[in-house]
């Protein structure tokens, strides 16, 4: 069934999800601002999967804040975490029963709940990435075993809307996983990605140079173990369960494995 969807935030994530949802037949509107708004009005939405030669132009509606009048089945909020607070007043004016927050937020959802209402919030995390160059969105969908699009209700229930969102995302080409505790999942995600990113900064290069830097790998893995031991012992928990591998594997084995992992595309 066709859904009416608003994408609030037209960066890489919003453009990718909105574009592929529109391509699969849904009625998608983008709310954009500033330079991105002007570029979308000038060129339209251009998506280029990283392994393809040419971009594809996808038909979507483009609006700004002053044109927010319709009601929507789902509003996908695709902003950075630090941008959400200033957007909450505008979001509160949108007619919808479900905000899908594709936001990296390990700090909890109390502020969102206060402004929008608990029943309207559905946390999520994207399973894609990319870049925008000259108005063209170059994107890649992450492999399912590494990072599927992850969604979950605040109370952990498998609701009708949760299953519907999973369905429309899968039909649009995304890998999707449901978790019964998004808050723990997002805390676990930060516990994982922070050491990985810092290792690259520490090395001063890229993932391939890190794979050859034994000290960077060792310090990264010590940090990973410390983070996941804390999550386990503090009672917060770890989601998905497979991330316990960082806590359980002996350091020499983890060092060997992560050198191999960093030496891949």
pLDDT in tens, the chain (265 residues): 899 999 999 999 999 999 999 999 999 999 998 899 999 999 999 999 988 889 999 999 999 988 988 999 999 999 999 999 999 999 999 999 999 999 999 999 999 999 999 999 999 999 999 999 999 999 999 999 889 999 999 999 999 999 999 999 999 999 999 999 999 999 999 999 999 999 999 999 999 999 999 999 999 999 999 999 999 999 999 999 999 999 999 999 999 999 999 998 7
- How far, in Å, CA of 174 to CA of 21, rounded? 10
- How far, in Å, CA of 34 to CA of 63, rounded? 11
Q: On the CB side of 47, how many CA atoms lie within 13 Å of its CA?
A: 23
Question: Six-digit token pair at 37?
Answer: 């708004």
pTM: 0.93
Q: Which domains does the chain have, with CATH numbers?
A: 4-180 (3.40.50.720), 184-262 (no CATH)
């Amino acid at each position: 069934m066709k859904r009416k969807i608003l994408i609030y935030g037209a960066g890489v994530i919003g453009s990718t999800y909105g574009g592929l949802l529109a391509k699969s037949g849904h009625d998608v509107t983008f709310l954009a601002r500033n330079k991105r708004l002007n570029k979308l009005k000038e060129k339209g939405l251009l998506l280029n999967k990283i392994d393809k030669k040419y971009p594809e132009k996808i038909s979507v509606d483009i609006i700004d804040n002053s044109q927010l009048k319709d009601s929507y089945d789902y509003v996908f909020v695709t902003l950075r975490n630090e941008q959400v607070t200033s957007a909450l007043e505008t979001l509160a004016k949108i007619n919808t029963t479900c905000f899908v927050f594709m936001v990296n937020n390990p700090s909890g959802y109390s502020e969102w709940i206060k402004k929008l209402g608990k029943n309207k919030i559905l946390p999520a995390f994207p399973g894609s990435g990319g870049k925008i160059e000259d108005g063209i969105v170059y994107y890649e969908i992450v492999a399912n075993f590494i990072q599927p699009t992850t969604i979950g209700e605040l109370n952990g229930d498998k609701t009708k809307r949760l299953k519907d969102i999973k369905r429309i995302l899968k039909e649009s080409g995304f890998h999707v996983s449901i978790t019964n505790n998004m808050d723990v999942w997002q805390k676990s995600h930060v516990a994982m990605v922070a050491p990985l990113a810092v290792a690259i900064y520490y090395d001063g290069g890229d993932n391939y140079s890190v794979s050859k830097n034994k000290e960077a790998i060792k310090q990264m893995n010590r940090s990973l173990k410390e983070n996941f031991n804390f999550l386990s012992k503090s009672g917060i928990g770890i989601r998905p369960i497979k991330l316990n591998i960082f806590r359980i594997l002996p350091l020499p084995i983890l060092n060997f494995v992560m050198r191999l992992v960093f030496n891949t595309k």
